[in-house]
Amino acid sequence: MTTTGFSRRGFLAGLGAVGAATALGGCVTSTGSQAAGGSASGPVTLQSNLSAPSAKAAMQALVDSFNKKGGTQASLNTVASETFRTQLPTYLTSANPPDVLTWYAGSVARSYAGKNLLLDVSEVWNGLAGYSDALKQLSTDSGKQIFIPASYYFWGMFYRKSNFAKWGVTAPTTWAEFLQVCETIKSKGVTPIGLGADNSTPWVASGWFDYLNVRINGANYHRELLAGKHSFADPQVHKVFDQWKTALPYFDPKGTALSFQDATTNLLQGRTGMMLIGTFLLDTTPKEDVDDIDFFRFPIVDPNMPLVEEAPTDGFYASAHTQRKPQTLEFLKYLTTVEAQEAYLKSSAGSSLPANSTAKDSGTPLITKGKEMLNKAADLTQFFNRDSSDALQPTADAALIKFIQHPEQIDSILTDWQSAAKKVWTS
Amino acid sequence: MTATLTAPAAAPPSPAGPRRKRRTLSPTLLAFVLVPLLVETLWVFWPALQGVYLSFTSWDGVSAATLVGFGNYAELFSDPTFGKAFLDTVLWLVLFGGLSAVGGLAMAMLLLKDRRGVGFYRAALFTPVVFSLVATALIWQAIYQPNGLVNTVLGAIGLDSWQHSWLSDANTALYAVIVPALWRQIGYIMVLYLAGLKGIDPTLYEAATVDGASKWQQFTKITLPQLSSVNSVVLSVIIIDSLRSFDVVWALTRGGPYHSSELLSTYMYSTAFQSLRLGYASALAVVIFVLAFGVILTYLVRAFRDADA
Amino acid sequence: MSRRPLRTGGYHLVAGGISLLWLLPIILVVVTSIRSFDDVAANGVGSLPHSFTLDNFGQAWVDGGEFQAMVNSLIVTIPAVIITLALGAISAFALSRYDLPFRRTVLLVMLAGNLLPPQILLVPVSKMAEMLGIYDTLGALIGVQIGFGLGFYTFVLYGFMRAIPNEIQQAAVIDGATPLQLFWRIILPLTRPALASLAALAFTWVFNDLLWSITVIRTDSKFPITSALLGLQGQYVSQWNVIAAGSVIAAIPTVAVFLRFQRHFVAGLALGAVK
């Protein structure tokens, strides 16, 4: 750790003026500036939130294979994802930041880019083959690329094939058929829909909101709503909840008391029939059960709406304050290669898809089916917090959990949601 | 602070040494006071001043901060979540604070005498204090789950109607979180009281027994007054811990569902690190501080006055 | 006299029952730590074990980086406890045994530092550590632990030292003892039991702290054990069996310290030696 003489002097000066608000503010709200002296030595640091042991091992393998090439070296630094999220502003505004960080594509990344905290990585994108235009668009902010996608995954209604066969139901495509399936499963004495949105993973409920909103109002309205251009108290939003209400009787009454992991356990044990969730549910599925898992597309509500799917994209961006710009770009370039993408996929038990279309995915029937679903989609959304901001997510959690428990209070829930969201947008 | 553990109350120490010495403050003493004070200034007061400054700004932790004067404080009054968190915090202070003091004292009385097995019992009560939060949260979640331990036991004794999703029901979440918080706190308060009880001169009880005082009279007339200095420590500990109670609540409910178990501390944390409204969060922190300091100050000023009386 | 065995039995029934109730959650942690991941995933944390394995401990210790984290924790905790108590003792001595001007104000101000919700300090402290050039070092963690613990320890020790009878001090002063000698030879030895019990408490607090360590440390190899445990939780999926095993390991030092100091605890606040 080096400190520049300037900042230490500035600090002492600040101490001398304890009462001076300027000094107070200057210290605490200062954002890191380029340290004089240019490039620092040492390896490129990759700050990663992939903290599950298998994911961590896969990332380490990726960094090791980069280091074996000789030349620039990189070092991996893994932090629990919850810690990572709270510390992200500190990382990015630090005068000596991590060079490369894992995070999500979409509005979440763009908002940091808008504050000049992310490195322009257009150089890496130049002449890059194997990446779709959609991914490039997703990684672009005001004409510059600021993000390197690594992988994406999909959401769907997951279920056990053997159980559907046992209950004599087949995967539905429309909302009416879906309710019919729920009715049949219920008649077998099984809870049709599992949720898993307790206090530790309340965001799971946002999947339902996102999907119903894009099925009823379309992807553009959804994005505008999340950006604060519409009110959550709008009649269009109300329609989403009216639709949701028709399925609520089939929801697990304990849905808001179980974490996503426990809800997965219930699904595997046949206590619930299906669950709207991302492919990461495979990470917590015992190996012998994986082949019995299948999914169907979220049912169609309005046949006139183009089909939109959720495809959250994960990847990397670099800090604008990096003191190792050339080495950082070299490392990012490596991260776009087939070799690196395939190594990265191992971090998720093969449940996600590589961003580089020439890289091989796990090739299981389920993953192939998901890939086809996304390829046919008219548009892709990311997920509630990725299309808006991490700051807006708690407002959604409070509103959606309350709706699931007290659907009759929907009017006051939506006005409360709007006023809470407004505070986030205007702050 | 009536800091006398030896009975009867001794006169407060008068200044030591001849008068002349006191006017020229010895450099040793000055260093003894100033060095610790400087350390605390560097790590606590200076950052705290910055925090107070932040409470007058609107800041997202990333961009430049803008001064908003008392805007954040004005917002507190119209913020329903703040009102909820404030009431919850008061309730928490009374319930968690009161129960941990009573429970800790009761356990200390029970486990005071050195006899066979007492060491094991004390250690058992103290173990939760030293157990990591991550494990604590995991286990209590498992205990409170819809098909967890509590509901299983209720079902076994025929109270099926009482079964409940404790942590996810807005009516019970806060009370459900108090239990693990107490589980971690009582052993700690017990240790403080044990130490205090040990310091009471046994001859006092002997004299009382001769006078024919009942157990209850002995407790109210001897034990409680003799514990006064420990009580002041316990009170400070309880107020500090109640108002700063954060980790257990955050780990178990994050203040949810929909703010039903929101304390000022959890609301502040989520405002700062989830909503990224650091200015408003700092204003909340200042409120917590003023509350804590207000309570302790009134108590201590009175205690100091008693000591000088 | 014939009622004694009955009373003893009753006592053990009550105390044993409470202890068992208290240990029950801990027993659950231990049970979880010897189950396999697939067992936990298939049956949930709350179920009876269907498997037995000791691999989780190895996984937490080696793959989870707990060994390094344990070393870091001790590197932070031991100096922090010693320095905090030393500073707390000297300031309590000066404030309690001498009529210094504003001594109560100073004491209250020091205590006030402890009443601040730590969350308000998180951002300023991390920025300050960065300016001092010690962000992401164990030194910063030691510093913040000292600063943040000091007020309370001073406050407690002040109480003890006030209670020491004045005659002892006056006798020493007449013999020509300087304040330093008075502190070192007379007051400090009398305060030893209190220091021992505070040391054990401080050890527990610093060792188990989570908030500060994630605020001033960024590199995983420098994390103390608490944040390393947190790192065993995945983004979506957590191996609760490994986390439970890690927690059992992490609790060993603090439990050991408590058991070692148990006698001191009880003597801690008692000044029976002073008559």
Closest partner residue to C230 among A7, A80, A284, by Cβ? A80
Closest-CA residue to A198 (of A274, A149, A260): A260
Q: Is the residue at A219 inside a domain?
A: yes
- Quote the CA–CA distance of A80 and A241 in Å, as a whole number: 34
pLDDT score of B244 more than 80:
no
DSSP characters for B69-120? TTHHHHHHHT-HHHHHHHHHHHHHIIIIIHHHHHHHHHHHHHT-S--TTHHH
DSSP type of residue B263 = -
- Quote the CA–CA distance of B46 and A204 in Å, as a whole number: 41
Q: Is the residue at A375 inside a domain?
A: no
Q: What local confidence, expressed as pLDDT, does residue C271 receive?
A: 39
**Which tens digits make up the pLDDT trace of B138-193?**
788 878 877 777 877 787 787 777 777 888 888 888 998 999 999 988 988 888 88
As a three-state string, the secondary structure of chain A is CCCCHHHHHHHHHHHHCCCCHHHHHHHHCCCCCCCCCCCCCCCEEEEECCCCHHHHHHHHHHHHHHHHCCCCCEEEEECCHHHHHHHHHHHHHCCCCCCEEEEECCHHHHHHHHCCCECCCHHHHCCCCCCCHHHHHHCEECCEECCEEEEECCEEEEEEHHHHHHHCCCCCCEHHHHHHHHHHHHHCCCEEEECCCCCCCCCHHHHHHHHHHHHHCHHHHHHHHHCCCCCCCCHHHHHHHHHHHHHHHHECCCCCCCCHHHHHHHHHCCCEEEEEEEHHHHHHCCHHHHHHEEEECCCECCCCCCCEEECCEEEEEEECCCCCHHHHHHHHHHHCCHHHHHHHHHHHCCCCEECCCCCCCCCCHHHHHHHHHHHHCCEEECCHHHHCCCCCHHHHHHHHHHHHHCHHHHHHHHHHHHHHHHHHHHC
Which residue type occupies A249?
P
Q: Is the residue at A52 inside a domain?
A: yes
Say whether C233 sits in a helix, a strand or coil.
strand
On the CB side of C51, CA atoms within 13 Å amount to: 19
Q: What local confidence, expressed as pLDDT, does residue B222 receive?
A: 85
Closest-CA residue to A79 (of C164, C92, C223): C223
C91 vs B33: CB contact, 8 Å cut-off? yes
Q: How many CB atoms lie within 10 A of CB B170?
A: 16
**Which tens digits make up the pLDDT trace of B16-57?**
444 334 445 788 888 898 999 999 989 999 998 888 988 999
Residues of chain C in contact with residue B28, where contact means CB-CB under 8 angstroms, are: 178-180
B84 touches chain A (CB under 8 A): no
Closest partner residue to A89 among B256, B270, B276, by Cβ? B276
What is the pLDDT averaged over residues B82-88? 91
Measured CB to CB, residues of chain A less than 8 Å from chain B are 15, 18, 21, 24-25, 27-29, 31, 85-86, 89-90, 92-93, 112, 115, 117, 198-200, 202, 254, 256-259, 262, 390-391, 393-394, 397-399, 401-402, 405, 423-424, 427
Which residue type occupies A56?
K
Q: What local confidence, expressed as pLDDT, does residue A81 receive?
A: 83
Question: Which B-chain residues 63-82 have CB contacts (< 8 A) with chain A?
Answer: 63-65
Q: Which helix (H) or strand (E) element contains residue C269?
A: none
C269 vs B22: CB contact, 8 Å cut-off? no
C46 touches chain B (CB under 8 A): yes
C63 vs A53: CB contact, 8 Å cut-off? yes
Give the minimum alpha-carbon distance from A200 to chain B in angstroms, rounded to a whole number: 7
Q: How many CB atoms lie within 10 A of CB C99?
A: 12
C128 touches chain A (CB under 8 A): yes
Please give the interface size between A and C, counted as residue pairs whose CB atoms are below 8 Å apart.
Answer: 121
Going by their DSSP bridges, the two strands A379-381 and A191-194 should be labelled as unpaired
Which residue type occupies A132?
S
Using 70 as the pLDDT threshold, list the residues of chain A that sit under it. Answer: 1-40
**Mutate which of B42, B44, B50, B278 to test chain A, going by most A C-beta atoms within 10 A?**
B50
On whether both A413 and A350 belong to a single domain, the answer is: no
C-alpha angle B113-B115-B119 in degrees, rounded to nearest 5 = 90
Q: Is the residue at A367 inside a domain?
A: no
Four-residue CA torsion sign, C19, C20, C25, C27: positive
Residue A286 φ/ψ, nearest 5 degrees: -55, 145
Residues of chain B in contact with residue A262, where contact means CB-CB under 8 angstroms, are: 145
- Quote the CA–CA distance of C35 and B115 in Å, as a whole number: 37
Burial of A304 (0-12, 13-18, 19+ CB in 10 A): exposed
On whether both A130 and A160 belong to a single domain, the answer is: no
Q: Which CATH number does the domain housing residue A185 bear?
A: 3.40.190.10
On whether both A139 and A45 belong to a single domain, the answer is: yes
C220 vs A77: CB contact, 8 Å cut-off? yes
A401 vs B146: CB contact, 8 Å cut-off? no
Give the minimum alpha-carbon distance from A352 to chain B in angstroms, rounded to a whole number: 27
The structure tokens listed for A124 are 């890496």
Q: Is the residue at A17 inside a domain?
A: yes
On whether both A196 and A141 belong to a single domain, the answer is: no
Closest B-chain CA to A117 = B62
On whether both A205 and A318 belong to a single domain, the answer is: no
Contacts of A265 (CB under 8 A, 6+ apart): A284, C41, C42, C43, C44
Closest A-chain CA to C226 = A80
Q: Which residues pair with A74 in a beta bridge?
A: A44
Using 50 as the pLDDT threshold, list the residues of chain C that sit under it. Answer: 1, 269-275
Please give the interface size between A and B, counted as residue pairs whose CB atoms are below 8 Å apart.
Answer: 109
Give the minimum alpha-carbon distance from B41 to chain C in angstroms, rounded to a whole number: 8
The structure tokens listed for C122 are 């998180």
- Which residues form the domain of A320? 8-152+313-359
**Which tens digits make up the pLDDT trace of C182-227?**
899 888 888 887 888 788 888 888 888 888 888 888 888 888 888 8
C119 touches chain A (CB under 8 A): no
Closest partner residue to A7 among C59, C131, C242, by Cβ? C131
Say whether C111 sits in a helix, a strand or coil.
helix
Q: Which residues pair with A354 in a beta bridge?
A: A151
Q: Is the residue at A131 inside a domain?
A: yes
On whether both A399 and A284 belong to a single domain, the answer is: yes
Q: What local confidence, expressed as pLDDT, does residue C145 receive?
A: 92
On whether both A200 and A330 belong to a single domain, the answer is: no
On whether both A194 and A115 belong to a single domain, the answer is: no
Q: How many CB atoms lie within 10 A of CB A161?
A: 12
Q: Is the residue at A371 inside a domain?
A: no
Give the minimum alpha-carbon distance from B146 to chain A in angstroms, rounded to a whole number: 7
The structure tokens listed for C247 are 């927690």
On whether both A254 and A387 belong to a single domain, the answer is: yes
DSSP type of residue B14 = P
**Mutate which of C45, C57, C109, C123 to test chain B, going by most B C-beta atoms within 10 A?**
C123
Question: Which B-chain residues 185-224 have CB contacts (< 8 A) with chain A?
Answer: none
On whether both A148 and A161 belong to a single domain, the answer is: no
Q: How confident is the model at residue B308 (pLDDT cuts 50, 70, 90)?
A: low
On whether both A15 and A104 belong to a single domain, the answer is: yes
**How many domains does the structure of chain A reveal?**
2
On whether both A288 and A420 belong to a single domain, the answer is: yes
C247 vs B183: CB contact, 8 Å cut-off? no
Q: Is the residue at A369 inside a domain?
A: no
